[in-house]
Each structure stands twice: as structure tokens, then as C-alpha cells.
Structure 1
């Protein structure tokens, strides 16, 4: 995908069916017409649909970020619907990770996109991604266009990931399209009393979806190989190659909490270090890329061992 162009420079174009991107041309769900702006993915790219509710839980941004970042170093293209919530979080995570992303919209390809979604669409185009629609011009959204949009999301993709969803909604429609094509449906398990976990848990409980218990398992479950020139995520094994050496205390804390989210208080309770020492260790781990935090209250130990 080409980059470094302003979004307004992209003029909408119609695609011939034989040029439909990813798996859409082979799909029984392919539309008769398809319009796009931006740059289409390379032929050997692998579409991964990531969908969910517009009103997800508070952990959703980090959940989407970890899932998407687990695909760094692959030919994955993140496909979603540019809606609020899970869709936008996944597009955002792809931009952050440097992965191409495709947004399929339920309106005319030239219709105005309102609110913050307009800025996200602009950034997708400028990063080398694409906006797709089966509707020409400035056709406004109608209710029936959203299920139709969802079938294209599934049709483009090798697998669909159900991140968070209530027991009804567009994400489940996409999941059903995925199953109808005989494609792989993956789902993130959640607490059984969480409303936004109802959808994934339902499909997992009846055996229609396979679970993703760890973000890192997404790539393996979907059968996406690392590219030959890819670099591994920061880990204790490969940090030495970068010239970064952790202290004994930092190594111990990372090993203890790897793969988990911890508050500062929880770290204090589980470790015998003074407050100043813990702060120094967390800073060391952040610099090494093994710990992330946005608010200095919750710390994500999500490197790989």
C-alpha cells in the first residue's frame, strides 16, 4: 500500500470484480459493485476481520491494541467497519502498529463521514489503507446497508475475530456470515456476567468459535506466518541483541507478571520492593518495551517469553 499522500488527494474509483482485494473476489458474499479510496493491499496480504460492539467495556482499547499488535511482522490487513467502539479501536491499533487497515462503510464512498470517524478515515487513507463501499457517490446510510456492509467485511477476510459484543448486534451478523462461508471464527472469552462478553461467550459455548486466550495466539490460530524480515516483539530472549540489559529486579518482576495487567498497588503487594524501587523498575521495563501504561495506574506486562 502506498503512503504519504493527503486524504483529499484520493479520488473514489470503481473496481472490476476480478480486482476485488483480499478474498472478496472468491467469496460468495461479494457485491456486484465495489468502490474504493486509498491503496489496496498487496496480493499476498491476509485479511483479518475484527468486529464488536459500539459500546464496549473499559478494557476494550487495550484489548484491541494487544490483539492487533500481535500481528506485527506479518502480512495481516486489519478489516473492520469504521464504527464507534471496537471497530475504531482496531483501526487505531493498526495505525499504531504500522499495519495496513481497510474500513468498509455502510454509505456512499463519497458521502461525508461524521464526527471523529472522519479523522480516523483520513488517517487510514494517509497511512496507506483503504476505504471501501458497494455504494457510489454520496448515498446516505440506510438501515439495511449495515448488514450488507458486514458481509463484505467477512468476504474480505480469512478469519473473523469477535472481540466484544452483546447478545445481539452487527458483529454477530458478521460472525454468521463468516460461519456461512466456512471460514474461521475466533472469539475473545469474557466474564459470564459481562454484557459485552455475551456474544463471544455464546459462540464459544456452542462450539461455533475458537477461543483466543492470549493475544499472541491470534496469529497462530489464524495461520499467519511471520515475514522473513520481521523482528520479534521485545522479550527477555532477544533484548540482548538490541544492547539492552535488564537488572535482576526488573527481570524478576517482568517474569512474575508477564501477560497480565497490574495496578501499582498490586505490584507493591506482590513484591518486596520500596515504592521508589518499583517506580525505577517500571521505568526500566517501559524503556525496554516490555511494559505499557497510559495513566501510570495500570501496567500491562505484555512482552513475550
Structure 2
């Protein structure tokens, strides 16, 4: 009897984002190490034939996720997918590749090397297809719903007006999740898809690659904390603790903070001053406030 080289993932062990998706698959198989429950999946997808500067763009986007619990999810395709997987490996960020073929089917070319690196680094290969099932055309559409399902949010890096990345974007929206897109040259066909998502208000823009973490709502996991301050004899007011705990690791404008809380402007300014003195918040212009190294 032939021995399987992969494992089956039971429904109760699906991550919450996938288990609650309207597109939740009935079965899943995997190789490698599955992410722990505290990991935050972010799907990063795009065209197989990207621009000349796309690899650098992906590098900057992915590196913005360092110091968080993010895990990069993509489809192991050439182009944007591979750039994001590869950069995640270079940055020491876990990554998952969702395949449109069985896990025993041969992976061609450089993608085979990348798949092996993902496994060696403690990541995983995921598929809903058994054995050596080939990558039929329809499998790619089905694969995209799982990429979105594993993720809290989806970023379309580069896409033409038609393509698999836009299907992943639609799955993301259908599940009520956050959709992000990188804007680009309005004359470039390579950005026609992402620009359209932004123009019709379906996606939230990532104007600066290094701001991806903040825009996606993925907090830092390191840095100063209230407990350390208490140990040093510094006690924050209840208002300061409330604001810090809510936005630790994020960047917010004063107006965004006002919308979130019912503090009057002078009270909120006093809280921010208290947090700045404590080293938990910084601001260069008193407009944008960076919480704990955001």
C-alpha cells in the first residue's frame, strides 16, 4: 500500500478565518508545519508577469511585516506569488503556499526549489486535492478562495484588468474581509486591475509599502508595554491605558483617535502627551501618532 507523503487537515483544525468562510473547503491536505492560532494570515497575490520593479516592491511590502505575527499566504505561482514567498523566507516570516494540484504532483522549475525552502523553513504547502492530481485550469480558481480563506486580509500587489488575483480579491470581499491594493501608474496595464479596485472603492490603498502592516491592522508583538512601565514605578491613567491597549503597534491621526473614543480634544491631547512622555507614543508633527514603534 502506497504511503502518503502528506497529512489531512480536519475541519475542526482549520484556522478560524477559513472555517468561518463561505467558501470553506470540505477537505484539505498539507505538508510541513501549520501556523499556530496566534498567526495572522495576509494573502499577497498578483500577476505572473509583473513589472521590472515588482520584486523590490514585494520585498518592501513583506519586510514591513517583520516583528508581527503575520504569515504570508500565496499561491506559489511565478511572479508576485513567488516574490512574496521568497521575501518572507528571507525576512524570517512564516509562509504558506496553496496549490492547485495534489501535493504528490510534480512542481516544475524554480517553484520546486521554492516549495522545498518553504517546508525547510517551517512553512506549509496546502491543497484540497489528493495524491498526484494535476493542476487543471479550474483548480486555480478554486485554489484562490482558499488563499483568501486562510487570511485576515488580501493585498493585490499588481494585476491587469483580468486575472486570478482579482478572483482572490472577490473571494475576500464576499467573505467581508479587508481588501488592499497597491496603486500604480494609471497608464500601465500592469496596474489597471489594482487601480480599478481602488477607483471603485472596493479596496483600501497601500500608498507606501512600509505602511502595509499598519494599513492591514497587524500590530507589532515587541516593544515597550504597560507592565514594564509599572515595574519601573510609572503608572498610566486609565484613559492612557485604554488608548494604548487599543492602538498598540499602529499609526493613527488625531481625528481617527477622536472617532474611536469619546474623549474631548483637550483630554485626548493630555492622554497622548502622557503616552509620549512614557515612551509609548511618538509624533513628528502632532498629526500622526505612532504607537510603540508603529
SS of 1:108's equivalent? coil
- The runs of at least 4 consecutive aligned structure 1 residues that moved more than 6 Å come to none
1:1-305, aligned counterparts within 5 Å?
Answer: 11-21=5-15, 23-228=17-222
**Aligned residues, how many?**
223
Q: Deviations over 1:121-160 (max 9, x none)?
A: 0000000000000001000111110000000000110000
Aligned to 1:259: none
SS of 1:30's equivalent? coil
Contact in 2 for aligned 1:22/1:47 (Cα 8 Å): no
Contact in 2 for aligned 1:189/1:200 (Cα 8 Å): yes
* Residue segments in structure 2 that go unaligned for 5+ positions in a row: 225-292
Q: TM-score, normalised by structure 2?
A: 0.74
How far residue 229 of structure 1 moved from its aligned partner, in angstroms, is: 5.8
Task: Report the aligned-residue RMSD.
Answer: 1.6
SS of 2:137's equivalent? coil
- In 2, Cα distance between the equivalents of 1:88 and 1:194? 22
- In 2, Cα distance between the equivalents of 1:103 and 1:153? 8
- In 2, Cα distance between the equivalents of 1:151 and 1:90? 18
- In 1, Cα distance between the equivalents of 2:96 and 2:74? 7
- In 1, Cα distance between the equivalents of 2:23 and 2:67? 29
How far residue 25 of structure 1 moved from its aligned partner, in angstroms, is: 1.6
Q: TM-score, normalised by structure 1?
A: 0.71
Distance verdict in 2 for CA 1:229–1:100, change over 3 Å: farther
Q: Deviations over 1:12-51 (max 9, x none)?
A: 0001101113621221111000000000011110000000
How far residue 109 of structure 1 moved from its aligned partner, in angstroms, is: 1.5
Distance verdict in 2 for CA 1:189–1:163, change over 3 Å: same
How far residue 55 of structure 1 moved from its aligned partner, in angstroms, is: 0.1
- In 2, Cα distance between the equivalents of 1:20 and 1:124? 20
* Residue segments in structure 1 that go unaligned for 5+ positions in a row: 1-9, 231-303
How far residue 52 of structure 1 moved from its aligned partner, in angstroms, is: 0.2
Q: Deviations over 1:88-141 (max 9, x none)?
A: 000001001000000000001111101110000000000000000000100011
